[in-house]
Chain A
Amino acid sequence: EDQVTQSPEALRLQEGESSSLNCSYTVSGLRGLFWYRQDPGKGPEFLFTLYSAGEEKEKERLKATLTKKESFLHITAPKPEDSATYLCAVRPNRDDKIIFGKGTRLHILP
């Protein structure tokens, strides 16, 4: 069964304290891995798509990386405005649908 697991469930960091969020996946072939950011009361906002192991994408303080079994979202010197829930999703080869993980709630303390 295709599955996406994110860890940790929640993470509290001080402003400027860098860290990484993990997304582990088990799929029958990967046709894309997506990262989204979701603020309270809003819909998920698209951040990155990764397609193959070794690929990296960056946007401001965020960098997403991909291996054959997991993806990391690295947050460098985060600011309070980076506080949000970060969702990972995968698209298996066999399907047009994407499967979401349950997310990591990130809280950056000023």
Chain B
Amino acid sequence: DAGVIQSPRHEVTEMGQEVTLRCKPISGHNSLFWYRQTMMRGLELLIYFNNNVPIDDSGMPEDRFSAKMPNASFSTLKIQPSEPRDSAVYFCASSPGTYYEQYFGPGTRLTVT
């Protein structure tokens, strides 16, 4: 079975540019989570969706960050404009429901110069 798919795996961009990260959850999972991981802060939840509806975006650091889930098989996380402090690894995870374990994708390593 295919796991969570994320693209791109690596992204290098200049400060001020728009960045879009993509995620395809495991088929049949109805909860989707976006995380950011840094050495200093570990794994931080940014936003999560249930049945394509955003439930909690309190972890989104600023208005520069936005996320959408137009259907059950696709989600995007957008940063506009990007800043060097956004450099991190961004993970998408999905689960059969919010009470269950989460399955993570391979992550997108973002570097903003």
Contact = CB atoms under 8 A, between A and B. Distances in A.
A52 to B, nearest CB: 14
B77 to A, nearest CB: 15
Given A34-B101, A49-B101, A96 B48 contact: yes
B107 A42 contact: yes
The winner among A43, A44, A96, A98 for most chain B CB atoms within 10 A is A43
Given A100-B42, A100-B43, A42 B98 contact: no
A36 B43 CA distance: 12
Nearest to A42: B106
A44 to B, nearest CB: 5
B95 to A, nearest CB: 9
Given A32-B99, A49-B101, A97-B48, A43 B42 contact: no
B93 to A, nearest CB: 8
A45 interface: yes
Query: Chain B interface secondary structure, helix, strand, loop or mixed?
Result: strand
A44 B42 CA distance: 12
Contacts, number: 43
Interface string B2-22: 001000000000000000000
B30 to A, nearest CB: 12
Contacts of A102: 42
Contacts of A87: 43
B55 A44 contact: no
Interface string B66-100: 00000000000000000000000001010000110
Contacts of B103: 46
Interface of B: 4, 31, 42-43, 45, 48, 50, 55-56, 91, 93, 98-99, 101-107
Interface of A: 31-32, 34, 36, 41-46, 49, 87, 91, 96-98, 100-103
Given A97-B45, A102-B42, 10 more contacts: A34-B102, A41-B107, A42-B106, A43-B4, A43-B104, A46-B101, A91-B99, A96-B99, A97-B56, A98-B102
